[in-house]
Structure 1
Amino acid sequence: MADDETDVLEFSLGDGRYCIDIAHVDEIVDANEDVTAIPNSERHVVGVVDLRGQTTTVVDPRVKLGEAGETEGSRIVVLSEHDATGLLVDDVHEVEAIAEADLDESGASETTRGVVRRDDRFVVWVDPDALV
């Protein structure tokens, strides 16, 4: 891998494709556990689950990204830099290397680093800190 490349995990929310720097990912688990809602929590907090004896907060990145629709929530991407916090995503696709030169930062916002063009689609590079 070249010095100007970053490995990212690509995932989907509805029809949209997103990615996150793999350095921020601790693990990926199936969302087959019942999520317990937390009364009066922030709108982006789905609830908590028990992952191997640890209470893990599950957040819906759609809320912070301004995406419409409901998350099917088949996978949880557990973040490494946020104590027991995971993103509820529809599906996880692949890990790919992205060159910094391929990142179009004109699409950057409070929650995103920019947009990467792939062969037939755009992938939005999200900032995990802004989602939790």
Structure 2
Amino acid sequence: MDGGDTQQFITFRIGDEEYGIDIMVVREIKGWAETTMIPNAPSHVRGVINLRGVVVPIFDLRARFGMGLTETTRMHVVIIVATGKRIVGLLVDAVSDIISVSPSAIRPVPEMGLPANDHFLEGLVALDDRMVTLVALSGLFGQQAAPAGGHAPDGDGSDAQKAA
């Protein structure tokens, strides 16, 4: 595989499944810390954190994928990503690896009769003895995503805390 013709993905786990996102959108990886809840947020939005002055919504990917809420521990990880003008955090069980993939190795998602979830998936990659599902971030932040802008009124989350 020629390095110039590959795309890199950071892989992470949710339960026994492995997923990947384009490494170019990843800004940092941090350990789980409690969030400030936002009233009326969708169940997959765990709340917000203050990341060096930027209020960042945290998406629970297990919940977003319809697998129930994550019961967080200190071992869970938040992947901070920037997509377009949005910065969001993705709550996952663990970060696994960085993989380099040729575009020709990315297979389309098979038709499963579940159109509601197709927009989350970019493709599938078979690596040795495992399959990695590539996640389309744009599909995660559609109409059902966090409140537009992903920010608290006063910038530090204290108004959101008072309302919770």
Give TM-score scaled by structure 1 length.
Answer: 0.87
Paired position in structure 2 for 1:38: 38
| Structure 2, unaligned runs of 5 or more | 112-117, 142-164
Paired position in structure 2 for 1:18: 19
More strand by share: 1
Paired position in structure 2 for 1:87: 90
Q: Which whole-Å CA distance do the structure 1 matches of 2:13 and 2:34 have between them?
A: 21
Post-superposition Cα deviations, 1:89-115, rounded to whole Å, max 9, x if no partner, equal 110111110111211103372110111
Q: Which whole-Å CA distance do the structure 2 matches of 1:69 and 1:36 have between them?
A: 16
Q: CA RMSD in A?
A: 1.9
| Structure 1, unaligned runs of 5 or more | none
Q: Which whole-Å CA distance do the structure 2 matches of 1:118 and 1:19 have between them?
A: 12
Contact 2:44 2:64 in 1 (8 A): yes
Give TM-score scaled by structure 2 length.
Answer: 0.71
| Higher Rg of the two aligned structures | 2
Bigger Cα displacement from structure 2, 113-122 vs 68-77: 68-77
Bigger Cα displacement from structure 2, 14-23 vs 99-108: 99-108
Cα shift at 1:63:
3.0
Q: Which whole-Å CA distance do the structure 2 matches of 1:71 and 1:10 have between them?
A: 20
Bigger Cα displacement from structure 2, 17-26 vs 52-61: 52-61
Q: How many residues align?
A: 130
Which aligned runs of 4 or more in structure 1 are off by greater than 6 angstroms?
A: none
